[in-house]
Chain A
């Protein structure tokens, strides 16, 4: 009897183990008439806001595709569904959960998590199991230099974020009869993979035009004060000031640019929209150039959602409490559309065939054109540059999509 009792825990473990193995084949990629996509994404932790934006985008994409009949594979209509886990905004947990989705839940088609860091943690896992992943929220260049055949990103890579601002500055200089080589550039970038990628893009363009870099500061991750850098800006009077450090960098920069009355003709900052700089710092942000992956004012058009503006309307109707639709949501919805078309072109659920179909994607959507390079990044969609004009973000570059001319030098009321 006592021997039996002693064995109970061992028995329980064994049964639980058997349960896991038994469950694995049952929860496969396609259940009945449903294709299950898997994603570990940030519902809690420091990326929770954007994680939720992204998952809302995924969900709306799924809803739309299902409403339009679903996905047709082998002459049969399938519905889409997503299995989510919360990665708590930590890369280690993300990798663990990706492993769980693939091995335990039998997921064969993955959607990306939020942020480059998390995507970097998940990508090797999906590559190891040869499971394709369409991701919408990891922009770091380094994601596409590892020879990973199973990653596809619908968004523009991070080195393009601010590069267009340099070209714009050079263009304006030439128009005003100045040589681009006379321009002085000040840079302040956070010391993280994303911002350093942005910096690399800016550096490339600066050297292309022969623009002189006078400040090159790297901001620590939790620095809430960049007055030392801005004091330098004041002293050296550059023609262009570019800053990238996620929302906190944008908020800090906007606050201190206002406070120190920094008067630079061109200021370009990433994430100004996410940091709500217009609402918080008002007129002092006038003329800031803000790159974005997508804007509802763009004239992009595609099946499923129609125009960019239509997506905007539908999203706001579906999810209450959104004043502006974040681009994080738009690109997530676009990722679902990419999967839908790839399934239909592959006409199979074989992961290799779907991978090849993904690789051959060439489509126009409300989010812009999507065509993948061999490395998996989208090369068909440009980054858009918007400028804060009269408290509103207006597209100013590239000129094909521009809705207003760029104001240069920036004019700040009352300064």
Chain B
């Protein structure tokens, strides 16, 4: 309660929390949108989502260690992880598409463990960061600080999201992806190579995740085993927003960002993650109630 009093007495603190929540939420939205794609199009619940994020982070880290500015890791990570996503699709995911839920959960969970251990073998278990070297600004009499990198990350997030949305709407492949999401069999009958669509979707997801990972490595810290936190957040956001609902994903991601920041401030950092999971439970309950009202036949 004391902490609530602080917020009331020093309203400027709210600005800091809101800003931080906003920037965090924007980056969560990226990874979550990738998950929504894969989930919606292929019905694969990708548990290694967070590990793709961390892999992107390590690409930026490696580049910064080589003396290249980590922000240039963005295009590199997008291209490399696209190829990696395609590869993973060909050897693993292809075999689980269309199977029951647990097959895809188990396969991607296993994949997550393998990726974590591989990263650990290559980079070791230390926490790493990539330094952007950008300015840190103080506003409102020094009570609020904004790192330029957070702002840049936000702009880049918006740009990437914009490109993805335009792509999905207007390009042939984007249309094919949406058609496959609606009805894979019909799409196949119409001559769409659904196998290719799936591979592309999964690869695109890996790219998007990697992009958010690059930004994360410059804002927070990365470590081979940190992926899980991002996987969980992606799931919470997508579950709350629903599949194929980009505005919903953005709103949910920002909401989660705010909830984490204010929750951490008022209740203490130990509740920050409890809030994430608590929100998931809440969303599931609300969804359940909505569903039962509709009395839909379960397919």
Contacts and interface: CB of A to CB of B under 8 A. Distances in A.
Interface of A: 44-49, 89, 188, 191, 216-220, 222-229, 231-232, 234-236, 247-248, 251-252, 255, 258-261, 274-276, 280
B51 interface: no
Nearest to A220: B273
A227 B257 CA distance: 12
Contacts of B127: 247-248, 251-252, 275
Contacts of B225: 46, 222
A131 B223 CA distance: 37
Interface residues of B, number: 44
B272 interface: yes
A48 B260 contact: no
B272 A223 contact: yes
Given A220-B272, A223-B229, A225-B220, 13 more contacts: A45-B125, A89-B125, A217-B264, A222-B228, A226-B269, A228-B262, A231-B13, A231-B16, A252-B220, A252-B221, A259-B145, A274-B126, A280-B129
Interface stretch (B41-49, B135-143, B199-207, B246-254): B135-143
Contacts of A261: 136, 138, 142, 145
Output the residue of A228, A251, A276 with the most chain B CB within 10 A.
Answer: A228
B131 A280 contact: yes
Contacts of A247: 126-127
B226 interface: yes
Interface in B193-220: 216, 220
B275 to A, nearest CB: 11
A341 B124 CA distance: 36
Closest 9 CB pairs of A and B: A228-B264, A218-B270, A224-B220, A217-B269, A248-B127, A46-B125, A251-B127, A228-B265, A217-B268
B16 A48 contact: no
18 contacts: A47-B125, A188-B269, A217-B269, A223-B273, A225-B220, A228-B262, A228-B272, A229-B268, A235-B6, A247-B126, A248-B127, A251-B221, A252-B221, A255-B129, A259-B136, A275-B126, A280-B129, A280-B131
A47 B124 CA distance: 9
Nearest to A224: B220
A203 B20 CA distance: 30
B249 to A, nearest CB: 20
Nearest to B142: A261
B166 interface: no
Contacts of A188: 269
A50 to B, nearest CB: 8
Nearest to A280: B129
A125 to B, nearest CB: 25
